[in-house]
């Protein structure tokens, strides 16, 4: 009954093109089949287009997906790394996931939280429990969370809005007495109506994330046999409704391992294209989790489409080249070695100190054993350990949340990214927020390495014409001094 109440057919139909979806399986197969065995010259010309920071079209993306020559892939890895450097420089943005509930009406065959799995204990966090989880996340040094919910009447839009208010409300003092709080909440939740999404907009949602899992409809229907999620189209247009609700930062994703990875990369591109066509703005980020073993799920280990590490790197590489200025997220599902590899070729956002059990952060704070999780965590390192490793690789950790709070979202941020201007702000805010982290949360060793990196960054910043011309140098040098003296949350 609840399922029937949630789905609003008119909020699907309005986005169809002549009654059809933007995903046309025949067209995707045709693009993949007609762009095989291309010459090296053609592949290199496509890479050049990416290097000039332009989005690739479907034929070009299909051409890259079909490359079989491993030497050519090596060139593509290098090109992807260069594209990333040109748009994102050496910055990596960090976040922590906060799982608020595992009650779910759905029957996804790859997930331990599906409703038939009686082995799982079900729980929805109370306000007090959300406070405790947030407190632990803050104690690690995070400033940005993604709140995650199953699909259930007990975690409806009202619950989500209230839990977001709770997270924003928590304040915590660091060891050196500085007050910290979550500055940006992204949401990973079930597809909602425009009315419900407007409610989340009012309480300050950052990015709204809904993964299609697979764009291949027959496979989608096979692995989502019942519940709300069985409706392919309600999910396919979830982010279109978010745009109509005024949420212009949206995030797409696919769960790789359910179907052919090349098809689903194309699906992500068609999704990107349709958002741009209908709203003038593509997704803020793309995620590409891989199927991992889940309790009681045969599919999660037996799927014939499981993606190995080599092909996983190829997925990230093609995405980086196809959408040069879209953020790419790699989560702690993957182990540290895989994460390091794909950070090199294109990923821009990572989580760390990750716990995905319900109430697991508070349990960790009390040294208690964790409950079962939705999937297996591959990277259990603390935030400090990951920041330390990245700093050794010359990468600066950013806790910046300024774009959202300065109104640099949606098409504004995409235009700024395209013109290379947003990156300039990000560079400054990365230094300011990294300074805060080093002073408030880093271990002595990380602080030492981090300070070397900051010194280099500041030298570079002071020599960049853009900052001199826009009078940003005085502002940032002033902010940096004030943060070093103890002020917090200054941004440009």
Residues contacting residue 260 through CB under 8 Å, at least 6 positions apart: 216, 305
CA distance 41 to 36: 14
Stretch binding ligand SF4 (CB under 6 A), from 109-117, 172-180, 267-275, 398-406: 109-117
CA distance 487 to 478: 11
Residue 153, classed as helix, strand or coil, is helix
Residue 207 as a binder of ligand SF4 (CB under 6 A): the answer is no
Quick one: 35 or 374, whose CB is closer to ligand SF4?
Answer: 374
Quick one: 61 or 331, whose CB is closer to ligand SF4?
Answer: 331
Least separation in angstroms between residue 115's CB and ligand SF4 is 7
Least separation in angstroms between residue 262's CB and ligand SF4 is 23
Quick one: 51 or 230, whose CB is closer to ligand SF4?
Answer: 230
Residue 104 as a binder of ligand SF4 (CB under 6 A): the answer is yes
Question: The dihedral of CA 56, 287, 205, 138: what is its sign?
Answer: negative
Of 97, 101, 141, 150, the residue at the interface with ligand SF4 (CB under 6 A) is 150
Residue 91 as a binder of ligand SF4 (CB under 6 A): the answer is no
Quick one: 361 or 375, whose CB is closer to ligand SF4?
Answer: 375
Q: Are 307 and 274 in contact (CB under 8 A)?
A: no
Stretch binding ligand SF4 (CB under 6 A), from 63-71, 102-110, 200-208, 484-492: 102-110
| Residues contacting ligand SF4: total by CB under 6 A | 9
Q: Centre a 10 Å sphere on the Cβ of residue 478 and count the other Cβ atoms it contains.
A: 11
Q: Centre a 10 Å sphere on the Cβ of residue 39 and count the other Cβ atoms it contains.
A: 9
Residue 91, classed as helix, strand or coil, is strand
Site for ligand SF4 in 227-266 (CB under 6 A): 229
Residue 136, classed as helix, strand or coil, is helix
Quick one: 150 or 403, whose CB is closer to ligand SF4?
Answer: 150
Least separation in angstroms between residue 355's CB and ligand SF4 is 16
Quick one: 124 or 413, whose CB is closer to ligand SF4?
Answer: 124
Residue 113 as a binder of ligand SF4 (CB under 6 A): the answer is yes
Site for ligand SF4 in 151-170 (CB under 6 A): 151
Task: List phi, psi (to 5°) of 462.
Answer: -70, -10
Residue 114 as a binder of ligand SF4 (CB under 6 A): the answer is yes
DSSP codes joined into one string, 22-86? S--HHHHHHHHHHT-S--HHHHHHHHHHHHTT----HHHHHHHHT---HHHHHHHHHHHHHHHHH
Q: Quote the longest CA-to-CA distance of the chain.
A: 63
Interface with ligand SF4 by CB under 6 A: which residues?
104, 106, 108, 111, 113-114, 150-151, 229
């Amino acid at each position: 009954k609840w399922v029937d109440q949630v789905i609003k057919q008119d909020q699907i139909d309005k986005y169809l093109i002549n009654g059809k979806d933007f995903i046309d399986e025949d067209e995707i197969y045709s693009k993949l089949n007609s762009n095989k065995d291309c010459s090296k010259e053609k592949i290199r010309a496509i890479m050049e287009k990416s290097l000039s920071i332009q989005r690739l079209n479907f034929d070009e993306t299909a051409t890259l997906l079909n490359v079989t020559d491993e030497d050519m892939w090596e060139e593509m890895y290098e090109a992807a790394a260069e594209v990333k450097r040109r748009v994102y420089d050496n910055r990596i943005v960090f976040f922590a996931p906060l799982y608020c509930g595992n009650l779910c009406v759905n029957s996804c065959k790859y997930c331990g939280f599906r409703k038939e799995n009686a082995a799982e204990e079900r729980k929805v966090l109370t306000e007090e429990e959300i406070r405790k989880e947030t407190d632990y996340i803050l104690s690690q040094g995070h400033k940005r969370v993604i709140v995650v919910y199953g699909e259930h009447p007990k975690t409806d839009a009202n619950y989500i809005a209230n839990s977001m208010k709770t997270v924003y409300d928590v304040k915590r003092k660091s060891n050196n007495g500085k007050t910290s709080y979550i500055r940006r909440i992204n949401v990973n939740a079930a597809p909602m109506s425009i009315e419900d999404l407007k409610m989340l907009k009012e309480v300050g949602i950052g990015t709204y994330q809904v993964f299609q899992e697979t764009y291949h409809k027959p496979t989608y229907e096979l692995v989502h046999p019942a519940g709300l999620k069985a409706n392919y189209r309600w999910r396919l247009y979830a982010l279109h409704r978010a745009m109509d609700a005024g949420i212009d930062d949206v995030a797409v994703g696919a769960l790789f391992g359910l179907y052919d990875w090349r098809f689903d990369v194309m699906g992500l591109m068609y999704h990107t294209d349709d958002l741009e066509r209908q709203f003038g703005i593509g997704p803020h980020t793309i995620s590409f989790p891989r199927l991992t073993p889940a309790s009681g799920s045969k599919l999660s280990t037996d799927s014939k489409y499981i993606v190995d590490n080599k092909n996983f790197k190829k997925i990230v590489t093609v995405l980086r080249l196809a959408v040069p200025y879209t953020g790419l997220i790699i989560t702690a599902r993957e182990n540290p070695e895989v994460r390091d590899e794909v950070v090199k070729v294109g990923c821009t956002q990572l989580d760390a100190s990750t716990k995905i059990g319900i109430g697991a952060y508070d349990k960790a704070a009390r040294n208690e054993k964790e409950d079962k999780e939705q999937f297996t965590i591959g990277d259990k390192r603390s935030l400090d350990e990951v920041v330390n490793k990245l700093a050794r690789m010359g990468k600066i950790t950013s806790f910046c949340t300024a774009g959202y709070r300065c109104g640099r979202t949606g098409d504004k941020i995409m235009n700024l990214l395209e013109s290379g201007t947003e990156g300039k702000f990000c560079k400054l805010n990365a230094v300011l927020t990294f300074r805060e982290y080093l002073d408030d949360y880093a271990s002595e060793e990380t602080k030492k390495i981090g300070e070397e990196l900051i010194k280099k960054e500041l030298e570079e910043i002071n020599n960049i014409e853009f900052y001199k011309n826009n009078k940003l140098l005085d502002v940032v040098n002033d902010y940096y001094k004030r943060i070093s003296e103890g002020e917090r949350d200054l941004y440009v």
